[in-house]
């Protein structure tokens, strides 16, 4: 990593050590709620799912409750192959993005892992820390900009 990039991250108060790489997403559309539920079930990762009336924390392998209504958004992480799934409601359906980390290549950015969102979740009664990776890439005139982020599990 160039010294100037290290200085930028340090000035921003980011104590985590950046690693070279990029986060890349593949997006698919889920037209109906049943298709989305099947996609979430097949992914089988840990994370959170936001329903209309509550936020539900999912452990890997847990069944998704049928009685909680429609899914508004979700972020899951599958440790076995280091892939994240982010879901957002768009129009009459949902967009599901699979996000994976690529290795360091020339011209790629830097990935920093951050822990935040310390919260006493009502569903578990205990505090958790959500981990996210943020990819920063060079932009015009030497500026670094965040381009993609992804959920990478709870701690």
Give the Cα-Cα-Cα angle 143, 147, 148 (nearest 5 degrees).
150
Average pLDDT over residues 127-140: 82
DSSP string, 65-131: PGGG--EEEEEEEETTTTEEEEEEEETTEEEEEEEEEE---TT-EEEEEEEEEEEE-TTTSSEEEEE
Quick: pLDDT tens for 34-93.
899 899 999 989 999 999 888 888 988 888 888 778 899 999 999 999 999 999 999 889
Predicted structure pTM score: 0.81
CB contact at 8 A, 132 and 152? yes
Q: What percent of the chain has pLDDT over 90?
A: 32
Q: Is the dihedral of CA 107, 148, 136, 101 positive or negative?
A: negative
Average pLDDT over residues 92-96: 93
């Amino acid at each position: 990593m160039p010294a100037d990039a290290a200085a930028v991250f340090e000035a921003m108060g980011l104590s985590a050590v950046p690693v070279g790489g990029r986060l890349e997403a593949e997006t698919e559309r889920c037209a109906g709620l049943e298709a989305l539920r099947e996609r979430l079930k097949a992914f089988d990762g840990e994370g959170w799912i936001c329903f209309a009336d509550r936020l539900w924390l999912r452990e890997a392998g847990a069944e998704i409750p049928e009685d909680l209504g429609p899914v508004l958004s979700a972020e899951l992480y599958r440790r076995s192959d280091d892939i994240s799934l982010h879901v957002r409601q768009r129009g009459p359906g949902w967009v599901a993005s699979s996000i994976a980390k690529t290795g360091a290549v020339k011209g790629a950015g830097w990935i920093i892992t951050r822990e935040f969102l310390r919260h006493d979740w009502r569903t578990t009664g205990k505090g958790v820390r959500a981990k996210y990776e943020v990819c920063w890439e060079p932009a015009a005139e030497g500026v670094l900009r965040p381009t993609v982020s992804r959920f990478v599990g709870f701690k």
